Chains A and B, each alone.
Chain A
């Protein structure tokens, strides 16, 4: 009896809770302010808070989102509509991520979800987001499927994807004379797709793929695989893996003297990885990045503000979260509503100009198109201050950086 009573009370409290702020806000909504469904725009940062990708996203992404909201409010001089930020750990599990997103959409009135690194989680959340007609702006996942075969009118893919990484690094290295390739590939979907994307680019630019070895995920010792790469006599060893696997492979490549005769191409390397390796070991490596804190005055300013809080520089994903949240808020302001269809239409009309990119735009398939950068890791002697790690070797123009719409399998692309 008592338990039943409590259940009823809790139920009543929950049912009335969302109404309270709505009433409170209804009074405040003045002319010109956007019409918001529950009086507030709620943004969710869904990321890996403690696992292997937490340095790329995690607390840094939450901070970036918070900075974006604060900056937006400051720019509106206190007249901005109410904005709320929530965050959660998806633990790199697709079911956990989808469950959390469902809870956010169903009970907490979240309008937009961002970060969502890890392709498996991203694909699950994208599907759910389309079902619930909210918005996903994914900054962290690598799979091209998000805007290709699994594209959705409610998904934006913001920072990078396997195509742009393979294209940038592969193309540049083949043109620079690295004609023969051997791959060290993480043996799961991500590694395979990175390898095949890069192989295609290498072959298309006139290079040759001599072979590949598939290693298990989290293989701590890479010496054996590197010996096989060495025996292949390929000029370039492409690392189609990520995180700890890439770091351990590079460490071992140095130790076994592979870097004296062959060069390494990191296909998914973040600045945090370089920081963890140290320039002594990482120097000379080529990689593709969507954003670098030291690329211009605006990015430096953002990087330094971020650094003050977390004592490290942001990755392209974290910078992407800042830009994505800013773009979304501007679109809500311009559309005058938080209705997903209207905001999406608005975002696809806008040019994105901020510290992340110049003249970026979102295509019909949801791909945010912007310049990518081919980087080379500096020699220790050339690094003048902390986190001074990259030289920009080339800018890959937005139009060339991503999968051309003509080749897209996305149903939203009119042909």
Chain B
């Protein structure tokens, strides 16, 4: 059996790979959505912190001899703290200004960060091995799926769902959402809103760093790895609806699959298909698929 000339088995394989890439999109766009939704900042450093996550894992391994599993916790933690310092020292002065200022600051920061890593490590990239536990591949019937790719899907979906649950269904999440709607009022209830905002930014950044560590064994760890991805991730956020958390998760996964299919039928267009969809969505639903019109 074949669908438009592609055997069904191959099709399943491609769909599964689309899902793997979609998990990356989901995790990165989730961080962006959280930061935009709660801080109103268009965080263009997201690609750079994703890269820093991968480099943190690389540095932990080569300098301190710390392996993949601890790095999965330590790298996001370290990069998250870096994010909080940025928020405390620079970003917080921009909340009252137009989006454009936050965008410009974070874009500038991205250039500085990428430049720093480039001058220290060069552009060829660094090797990072797949952890021993996840080496090898499993035959899932229609394809051989590398164990590590399966782990990527599991890890990123769990993180996404936990984040969604915390923000939408717990008391802490309610404070967060209230804090962004009306900070004065929430502060009046005795909640430290500036601290909450700092922690949220740190968390969003840590999510990107976590994605970076997940990506390190499968793609080349190089200073430009984030800029190749960030534009697509922004498109995902726009399609899903700026600030919508569930929207960014579902859109991320969906677009990963659409992109996967494009790679089979018309590979030349696979890097543009996301933007074509973005243009169509913006024409039909300017607020994005899951966004609310204001």
Pick the residue among A215, A223, A231, A243 that contacts B17 (CB under 8 A): A223
Known contacts A223-B17, A227-B13, A275-B124; A256/B137 CB under 8 A: yes
A216 and B124 contacting across the interface, CB-CB below 8 Å: no
Q: Which chain A residue shows the least CB distance to B148?
A: A255
| Best-surrounded residue of A216, A224, A228, A272 (most CB of chain B within 10 A) | A224
Q: Indicate with 1 or 0, residue by residue over A3-17, a CB within 8 angstroms of chain B CB atoms.
A: 000000000000000
Q: Say whether B127 contacts A278, CB under 8 Å.
A: yes
- Answer whether A276 and B149 are a contact pair too, CB < 8 Å, given A216-B268, A224-B263, A227-B13: no
Q: Contacts of A217 on B, CB cut-off 8 Å?
A: 271
Question: In the complex, A255 Cα to B271 Cα: how many Å?
Answer: 23
CB atoms of B263 and A276 under 8 A apart = no
CA distance A131 to B10 in the complex (A): 54
Contacts of B40 in A (CB 8 A): none
Among candidates B137, B144, B222, B270, residue contacting A216 with C-beta atoms closer than 8 Å: B270
> Which B-chain residue is minimally distant from A48 (CB atoms)?
B123
| Complex Cα spacing A379 to B129, Å | 16
Asked whether A304 is an interface residue with its Cβ less than 8 Å from the other chain, the reply is no
In the complex, A225 has a CB within 8 A of chain B: yes
A251 to B119, CA, bound (A): 24
Interface: A218 (CB within 8 A): yes
Q: Is the CB of A273 within 8 A of B124?
A: yes
Task: Check A218–B228 contact: CB distance below 8 A.
Answer: yes
List B contacts of A214 (CB < 8 A).
267-268
B119, B125, B129, B271 interface centre (most CB from chain A within 10 Å): B125
Decide: B129 and A280 in contact? CB cutoff 8 A.
Answer: yes
Contact indicator B220/A257 (Cβ below 8 Å)? no
Q: Which residues in B have their C-beta under 8 angstroms from that of A218?
A: 228, 271
Across the interface, name the chain A residue whose C-beta is closest to B14: A224
A224-B219 in contact (CB<8A): no
Q: Report 28 cross-chain contacts, Cβ distance below 8 Å, ordered by A residue.
A: A50-B118, A52-B123, A54-B123, A55-B123, A214-B268, A215-B270, A219-B270, A220-B219, A220-B229, A221-B17, A224-B14, A224-B17, A224-B267, A225-B263, A225-B267, A227-B143, A231-B10, A244-B220, A244-B224, A248-B219, A251-B219, A251-B220, A257-B137, A257-B144, A272-B122, A272-B124, A276-B220, A276-B222
A interface residue numbers (CB < 8 A to B): 50-55, 187, 213-221, 223-225, 227-228, 231, 243-244, 247-248, 251-252, 255-257, 272-273, 275-278, 280-281
Given contacts A54-B123, A221-B21, A228-B264, 9 further A-B contacts (CB under 8 A): A50-B118, A216-B270, A220-B225, A223-B20, A224-B17, A224-B263, A231-B7, A252-B218, A255-B149
Question: 8 shortest A-B CB distances, which residue pairs?
Answer: A216-B271, A278-B127, A224-B263, A276-B124, A55-B124, A255-B146, A276-B125, A272-B124
